[in-house]
Structure 1
Amino acid sequence: MDRKTEELRDIFMDVAEGETVTESQEESRGSLADRGDVGQRLSDVITGMRERYAFRADFDDEALCALVRGFYDGETDAELARTLDVSRHTVFRARMDLHLLRESDLDAPFDLDVLRERLADEDPLTEVADDLGVSASTVRRYRDALAARNESRGANDRYRAEFDSILADSDLTGGLTDDVKNDGLDEATEDAEVDVSF
């Protein structure tokens, strides 16, 4: 030890209560893997939505969680219907309950503003459908999509954002924790010459 180091050590010994500089480590702040079960978190969001809105689709939470995951995996309504063993119409209704809209849900073959006006006037759907030159079921579909979008906007797209966050965390967690032991340093140090002497 050089003279300066000895002086610093002596000063430390004078002011410190002990001879070591070991601090107790702080409690861990957790990790992505500690964010809870994805299924449970999705179910919690769905429960919150059930409390706020009247769901029209007769699905239990497990089926709705499967629908959310499938939707985020890019499955079509037909694929989701096969998976859940229900009709595409039922899947669509459940998606609207959950505010899970696709761009195509509002891509109508007629002017949606006209539909909005007619719905606000409470015109009969069959009459609106005749005037727009489409079937009543088509009008109902776009009416439901507009209602879901309005509900979602009324909640500041909160539930959709929560689904996004949960499933994004899930993707990150899978990517980060599945390969936690594979840190990529093996390749970086493969040809390194390490000569450490103490």
Structure 2
Amino acid sequence: MTEDKRKAHLLKLFSSMSGKTKIVEPMKNIHGTLRDSDAIEREVALVMREIIEQGIFKTSLKPIQLAKLVTSFYAGKNDTEIARELGDEKLSKTVARARVRLKLFRDLDFRMPFDKERMEELIESGKTMKEVSEELGVSPSTLREYRHVIEEQEDPTIDPYIDRIRDVMEDRDLSEQMTRSATADSLGEAIDITEAELIDVT
């Protein structure tokens, strides 16, 4: 019998014989000891408020929405999914621009349909954006999007705030790891208690 099946069998047998539910109580102590997702978002929102108040960048999104954007990005959501979580799928472009401004880059952000060095040469030559886009064979809006990515990547203004946000998110990852570990330990402890009580019963 595998370990998982053994545990399931013991739990079922213990419950049917004793009617006790106390063995799962250790897991209740886990919740509330580590920061939950709402607390994480509130911390990030405070940093976002500072960013906006300092005039570092402008967006129609509120601090708490920007915080949700960050946590959703770390959860693997794409821009459209994040916009839906904010309540409006039409916000996907707003989300994308804010995400890039916060240096939350995706690989796709750098898959430019033209040569980056060629673009920079054309811009430095004094050509207009329309002329540059025609030379590169892309629309002016596409050119602006990729220029935005490059500019934000190179701009250090927001970096101190980004570091603070990353610290919060790293703490969240640690909390999740601790929760998983504590849950596993509590289940193991519960099974040990079950086995001991079964021995007493028999």
- Using structure 1 for the length normalisation, give the TM-score: 0.65
8 Å Cα contact 1:43/1:65 also seen in 2: yes
> Counterpart of 1:147?
151
> Counterpart of 1:76?
78
- More RCO (CA 8 Å, sep 6+): 2
The percent of aligned pairs where both chains have the same amino acid is 31
8 Å Cα contact 1:99/1:159 also seen in 2: no
> Counterpart of 1:65?
67
- CA 1:108/1:160 → structure 2, altered by over 3 Å: closer, same or farther? same
Q: How many residues align?
A: 160
> Counterpart of 1:169?
171
Mapping of residues 1-198 of structure 1, within 5 Å: 33=35, 37-84=39-86, 85=88, 86-151=90-155, 154-155=156-157, 157-177=159-179, 179=182, 182=186, 184-186=188-190
- Using structure 2 for the length normalisation, give the TM-score: 0.64
Report the more deviating stretch, 105-114 or 51-60: 51-60
Structure 2, unaligned runs of 5 or more: 1-32, 197-202
Using the TM superposition, give the Cα deviation of residue 142 of structure 1 relative to its aligned residue in structure 2, in angstroms: 0.2
Structure 1, unaligned runs of 5 or more: 1-30, 193-198
What is the alpha-carbon root mean square deviation over aligned residues? Answer: 3.2
SS of alignment partner, residue 57 of structure 1: coil
What one-letter code is carried by the residue in structure 1 that aligns with 2:175? T
